[in-house]
């Protein structure tokens, strides 16, 4: 994955393969997706944040749900959950595996739900994949959420480490060539600009927290990646404890993503 620094918008531009619906279908088709794997998914941050702001039985949408593991997790945690994704083959596959889950094919920029239908909306690493911007996505998020509803969103962002490396010229500058845009995968965005953009669209920031310190550090400090990647990938219980510790220590300055919690205005 090639990275460039867009100094005009203070963001990193990642080039590889365009994150199209065909790309995600192909990516997810290579993974071993089983009922057991999805049913065993645990994420105390997702369940904890949802329960903090919403009562059980609340209607929650996951926009860009992929293989549906968080739809399953939220449903199991007591929330009435619907997932939407534009990877048609993946949606068909998950529908076959879990016919009881409500996962639908659709475009998160234009969804077939009534205004104010949902109490909550989860977005896991979605808005950064749209080169032309996320304005249409934010407008649709606001439309389908009820007044005072909650938006939970994770996005790769410009950590202090990424900002430092950008200022030191460690990334080539983004020249905005059309042939390069065709290979656009994602951004690492400016967290402050995200807050401004969402607040200008009728949301109020309730919480913002960095996550993924180890991933952010290993991806940017490349000479240490051969050492840190096995730690990151390991399923050994003792290594996982080390990973949790490293994540905690590295998060403040090297986090890969930021979790935002917004509340829609009245």
In a domain, 118, yes or no: yes
Say if residues 258 and 208 touch (Cβ distance below 8 Å).
yes
> Tokens representing 261?
């919690």
In a domain, 39, yes or no: yes
> Tokens representing 55?
């009562």
Angle at 68 between CA 196 and CA 17, to 5 degrees: 65
In a domain, 147, yes or no: yes
Per-residue pLDDT tens over the stretch 225-241: 999 999 999 989 999 99
Q: Among 66, 100, 60, 102, which residue's Cα sits nearest to residue 86?
A: 66
Per-residue pLDDT tens over the stretch 21-68: 998 888 887 666 667 778 777 889 999 999 999 999 999 999 999 999
Going by the DSSP 8-state scheme, the letter that residue 173 receives in this structure is B
Predicted pLDDT of residue 29: 78
Which sign, positive or negative, has the C-alpha torsion 211, 38, 76, 241? negative
Predicted pLDDT of residue 31: 63
Host domain of residue 109: 2-211+258-264
In a domain, 46, yes or no: yes
Q: Give the CATH number, domain containing residue 19.
A: 3.40.50.150
Beta strands in 66-144, from DSSP E residues, in sequence order: 80-85, 102-105, 118-124
In a domain, 187, yes or no: yes
How many domains, in total, are found in the chain? 1
Predicted pLDDT of residue 55: 97
Q: Among 256, 232, 229, which residue's Cα sits nearest to residue 242?
A: 232
Say if residues 214 and 250 touch (Cβ distance below 8 Å).
yes
* C-alpha span between 245 and 19 (Å, rounded): 32
Which sign, positive or negative, has the C-alpha torsion 78, 84, 87, 93? positive
In a domain, 240, yes or no: no
In a domain, 245, yes or no: no
Q: How confident is the model at residue 176 (pLDDT cuts 50, 70, 90)?
A: confident
Percentage of residues in the chain having pLDDT higher than 90: 83
- CA distances to 242, 243, 251 from 246, in Å: 6, 5, 8
Q: Can you give the pTM of this predicted structure?
A: 0.93
């Amino acid at each position: 994955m090639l990275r460039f620094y867009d100094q005009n918008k203070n963001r990193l531009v990642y080039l590889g393969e365009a994150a199209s619906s065909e790309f995600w279908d192909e990516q997810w088709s290579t993974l071993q997706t089983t009922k057991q794997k999805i049913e065993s998914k645990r994420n105390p941050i997702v369940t904890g944040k949802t329960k903090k702001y919403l009562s059980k039985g609340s209607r929650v949408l996951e926009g860009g749900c992929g293989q549906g593991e968080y739809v399953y997790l939220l449903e199991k945690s007591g929330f009435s959950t619907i997932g939407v994704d534009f990877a048609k083959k993946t949606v068909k596959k998950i529908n076959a595996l879990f016919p009881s889950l409500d996962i639908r094919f659709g475009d998160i920029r234009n969804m077939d739900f009534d205004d104010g239908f949902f109490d909550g909306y989860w977005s896991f690493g979605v808005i950064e994949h749209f080169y032309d911007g996320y304005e249409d996505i934010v407008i649709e998020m606001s439309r389908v959420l009820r007044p005072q509803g909650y938006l939970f969103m994770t996005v790769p962002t410009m950590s202090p480490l990424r900002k430092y490396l950008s200022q030191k010229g460690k990334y080539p500058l983004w020249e905005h060539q059309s042939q390069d845009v065709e290979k656009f995968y994602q951004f690492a965005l400016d967290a402050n600009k995200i807050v401004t953009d969402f607040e200008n669209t009728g949301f109020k920031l309730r919480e913002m927290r960095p996550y993924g310190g180890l991933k952010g550090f290993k991806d940017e400090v490349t000479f240490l990646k051969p050492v840190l990647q096995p730690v990151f990938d390991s399923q050994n219980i003792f290594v996982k404890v080390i990973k949790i510790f490293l994540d905690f220590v590295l998060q403040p300055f090297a986090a890969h993503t930021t979790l935002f919690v917004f509340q829609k205005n009245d």
